[in-house]
Amino acid sequence: MVSRRETWTTEEFGTSHTGAVEAVLGDGTVPAPVYFDSGSGGGGDPVSQWSVYDGRWPHVPRAAAVRAVCSCGWAGPEHRLDWEAIGDQDLAEAGDEQADACDRDWYAHTDQVEATTIPLPETVTMLLARLEEEIDKLTKTSPVAAVRAARRLEVTAERVGYWAARGTANDLDTKQAAAQLGLNEDAARKLLARLGRWSPYR
């Protein structure tokens, strides 16, 4: 069962790079998810949100630090929690500065991921940005026309993506394609299958 905690993703990399703030104990280990009684006797859902690890419940340890983590396996530097300063304050508020530092660490990580992907020609990057800008402007004057433009964009993406996906499958294996797209192998396989119109389970 997946424990509940706040996570973040980027539009391009999606769940291949899901970020979160993780609690770290004094011995350097990561605490197990905790359960809070829902009142029905079922024990509730597992929770691993960093801010619950305040040591105020017998079954909940106290975090010594927090760090950013990513579903790809990356982990950022630890940011220590000053419990003398925190005192009786709610950890979600008192540790906000450390959590924000984790947020910045994770976004720096996604910048590094982007730097390892296959670069796009500047002309393509500029055209995509200009197209987005023009459709945003169109939305303010004629939303339905903007919908039509977005649909035309979908049609174009499906058409050019078909041959691009098939060419990629001919040139690269899934692991190589995933690395150049900044995705995990499962996400890369599903993306190429969707664009190339074949089963991802072939």
Measured on CA atoms in the order 111, 116, 121, 124, is the torsion positive or negative? negative
Classified as helix, coil or strand, 93 is helix
pLDDT at 58: 86
Taking alpha carbons only, the member of 36, 48, 39 closest to residue 1 is 48
Mean pLDDT on 84-110: 97
For residue 36, the model assigns a pLDDT of 76
- When pLDDT is averaged across residues 173-200 and rounded to a whole number, the result is 96
Average of pLDDT values for 21-50? 85
pLDDT band of 2, cuts 50, 70, 90:
low
Alpha-carbon separation of residue 33 from 60, 158, 164 (angstroms): 9, 42, 43
Distance CA 83, CA 100 (A): 17
What is the pTM for the complete model shown? Answer: 0.87
pLDDT higher at 93 or 36: 93
Looking at the predicted structure, is the pLDDT value of residue 145 above 90? yes
Ordered by start, the domain boundaries in the chain are 7-116, 122-196
* 6-21 pLDDT, tens digit each: 999 999 999 999 999 9
Q: How far apart are CA 104 and CA 98, in angstroms?
A: 10
The yes-or-no verdict on residue 41 having pLDDT over 60 is no
Span 2-9, mean pLDDT?
86
What digits encode the pLDDT tens for the residues 103-132?
Answer: 999 999 999 999 999 999 999 999 999 999
**Whole-number average pLDDT of the chain:** 94
Among residues of the chain, what percentage have pLDDT more than 70? 95
Predicted local confidence at residue 44, as pLDDT: 72
